[in-house]
Amino acid sequence: MKSKVYFTREITPEAVLRLYKTLGKELTGNILPYWMKKMCNPADGFYGRISGEEALDPDAPVGGIMTARILWTFASAYRVLGNPEYLDMALRAKSLIINHFYDAENGGTYWSLNADYSPLDTKKQIYAIAFAIYGLAELNRATGDAQALDYAIRLFHSIEDHSYDKEKDGYFEAFTRTWEPIEDM
């Protein structure tokens, strides 16, 4: 059986370098600045939605996964590129996660917040909590932020304490705010 050929020319180190430069320029000249300019809420968090026509919805809920991805992205960009504006964005996301998404009473994080950052959907989705761990751990890696590491460890223990299925050696995905089984599995 013959293999398909996807490239008609050899990939040279020069071509890889051009691609690296092009992608870096897109990241630092377009993608990261877009989030910094368009999605930052003056209340020290983020807006939850913007349309494809750039219509901002200031009343939209704010998602935990989106916020955790912003944290990871900007912490990683800061670690690699050293731009202090990226650190500011990562710290903004960290603050939102710790001060509003984190459930101090029951552990874990909420799925979403209202636009005023009060809890909206308080279910515990392991997927969202895992993204918060990734983001907080990356911020610790980038800066040595001990608080970020502490919360990442707390969230890890929340997953292990409440989600681990001893019978099947796996994990359950979704719970109520108080870690009871939920139909949204």
Between CA 111 and CA 151, with CA 176 as vertex, the angle to 5 degrees is 55
Burial of 114 (0-12, 13-18, 19+ CB in 10 A): middle
Query: pTM for the whole thing?
Result: 0.90
Per-residue pLDDT of the chain (185 residues; tens, 9 = 90+): 666 656 666 788 998 899 999 999 999 999 999 999 999 998 889 999 999 999 999 999 999 999 999 999 999 999 999 999 999 999 999 999 999 999 999 999 999 999 999 999 999 999 999 999 999 999 999 999 999 999 999 999 999 999 999 999 999 999 999 999 998 66
Q: Which of 145, 152, 127, 156 is nearest to 90 (CA)?
A: 145
How many CB atoms are located within 10 Å of the residue 157 CB? 12
